[in-house]
Amino acid sequence: MLLSEFGLDIISGWLSNKFGKIIDKRILKLKKYKDCKNMRKPFFENLALEVKTKLFQTFDVYIDLEKILPRIANPIAHILIEKEAIDSFWNQACLVLESKVTGEWYVFRRGRMAMQGVGGGIRQSEIALKRLKESKAYIAVWAISTAILDEFENGGKLWPEVKISAIPFFSSIGNNDGEWCLIQDRTRELLSANY
């Protein structure tokens, strides 16, 4: 064995050990990554995410009320006020127009009408109430759980299911009674001034 062969053997042994360690580390990382992925997999597989098909279309009070209102025979306007203000500062209102004759109904989603404050939500409520008055619609105001209203607006529940969960607004009790009484008073004022 020559000195050069001996040197090359040492270098090749050293390199194979180095590359072996690098490869072993990468394989170990890859195994950890795969184990990590496998650990996550059952969590995502067991996660019960219900993807429901939307059962109906919702409308916008500001844009669609004038178009839909004339088509409804003997309209009843159900104003559903959410009991918990979760998505905004105000307890928002959803409008459901129902025909007293045919039973057909149309949902106008939250975001435009409110019975609190002094800005756009109140103004939209006033405009909607005036339009309802012009069409001689009956008005019923209800309090309802925000969770039920969310599912309803997302098309997951039908109006007959939601209607049985609604509580007559002026006899309902809110989470914060003092604030809820103010909302009830403001709603009475809006109804008497605009309807």
**Rounded to whole angstroms, how far apart are CA atoms 21 and 139?**
78
Calculate helix-pair angle for 120-134, 177-194, nearest 10 degrees.
40
Query: What residues pair up with 114 in beta bridges, in sequence order?
Result: 92
pTM over 0.75: no
- pLDDT band (50, 70, 90) for residue 89: confident
Return the domain boundaries, the chain: 58-193
Is residue 177 over pLDDT 80?
Answer: no
What are the b/e assignments for 35-59, b being 16+ CB within 10 Å? eeeeeeeeeeeeeeeeeeeeeeebb
Does residue 133 register a pLDDT over 90? yes
- Please tell me which residue, 31 or 135, carries the higher pLDDT value: 135
Q: What is the mean pLDDT of residues 49-62?
A: 79
- For residues 13 and 148, the model is more confident at 148
pLDDT class for 194, splitting at 50, 70, 90? confident
The pLDDT value recorded for residue 48 is 46
The answer to whether domain 58-193 has CATH 3.40.1530.10 is yes
- Can you read off the two tokens belonging to residue 84? 């918990």
**CA gyration radius, the chain:** 32
Token pair listed for 168: 């007559």
pLDDT for 51 beyond 70: no
Per-residue confidence (pLDDT) for residue 31, from 0 to 100: 61
Stretch 57-83: mean pLDDT, rounded?
94
pLDDT of 25 reads 63
pLDDT over 90 percentage in the chain: 52
The residues facing 79 across adjacent strands are 95, 141
Which pLDDT does position 62 carry in this prediction?
92
What is the predicted pLDDT for the residue at 21?
62
CA distances from 69 to 58, 149, 180, 183, 193 (A): 14, 22, 30, 26, 21
